């Protein structure tokens, strides 16, 4: 049972509970689909994404040693851009429902202090897509810092190489512009 009291007194959600909450919201926006439109799905999923992901840690991990060189405002702008990208990505990719189910399989604490929550998307045709989450614990409980597709493809790993290349050629503002461009692509439907 999760306490609804103040954050200081609230029981910390387990990693599995964090992912189950996300999964429930994903089914909700998928069922809303086209009737809600992209903007409706985005507004619906935004609070859950904000509560599920640790964007400052993702920003630091994705930019490596560059993170410490950024100004406070650059860090804030990058974190906000990463948040908007995640929300837009979910609103775009989870846009219709055809009987899919999300299932949390297990959670496993790793020696580095992270937690890996193994889950899968059960498709209506009987297929299953492995989708695992890497979480860290902080002041506000367990939060996602990476998503592993098909058991081996790290979202953070793929983005890190892309982000480092952009920072190298266009600095932090160029990276933020690229992220904002992707968000606009999801908004317009030209990016899926």
- Return d(Cα 42, Cα 187) in angstroms, integer: 9
Per-residue confidence in pLDDT tens, the chain, 192 aa: 333 333 343 467 899 999 999 999 999 999 999 899 999 999 999 999 999 999 999 999 999 999 999 999 999 999 999 999 999 999 999 999 999 999 999 999 999 999 999 999 999 888 999 999 999 998 889 999 999 998 889 999 999 999 999 999 999 999 999 999 999 999 998 987
Q: What is the DSSP string of 88-129?
A: HHHHHHS---SS-EEEEEEEEE-TTS-EEEEEEEEPTTS-EE
Q: What is the DSSP string of 159-176?
A: HHHHHHHHHHHHHHHHHH
Q: Residues for the chain: how many in total?
A: 192
> Among 77, 133, 126, 69, which residue's Cα sits nearest to residue 101?
126
Check residue 150 and give its pLDDT.
87
> Among 45, 51, 65, which residue's Cα sits nearest to residue 13?
51
Check residue 151 and give its pLDDT.
83
Check residue 42 and give its pLDDT.
97
């Amino acid at each position: 049972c999760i306490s609804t009291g103040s954050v200081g007194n609230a029981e910390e959600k387990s990693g599995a509970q964090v992912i189950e909450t996300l999964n429930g919201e994903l089914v909700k926006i998928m069922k809303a689909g086209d009737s809600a439109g992209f903007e409706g799905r985005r507004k619906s999923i935004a609070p859950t994404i904000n509560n599920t992901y640790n964007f400052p840690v993702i920003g630091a991990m994705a930019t490596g040693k560059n993170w410490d060189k950024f100004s406070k405002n650059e860090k804030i702008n990058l974190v906000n851009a990463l948040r908007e990208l995640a929300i837009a990505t979910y609103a775009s990719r989870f846009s219709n429902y055809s009987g899919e189910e999300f299932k949390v399989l297990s959670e496993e604490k790793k020696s580095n202090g992270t937690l890996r929550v193994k889950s899968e998307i059960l498709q209506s045709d009987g297929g299953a897509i492995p989708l695992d989450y890497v979480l860290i614990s902080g002041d506000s409980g367990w939060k996602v810092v990476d998503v592993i597709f098909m058991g081996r493809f790290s979202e953070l790993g793929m983005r890190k190489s892309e982000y480092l290349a952009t920072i190298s050629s266009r600095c932090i503002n160029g990276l933020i512009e690229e992220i904002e461009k992707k968000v606009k692509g999801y908004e317009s439907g030209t990016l899926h």
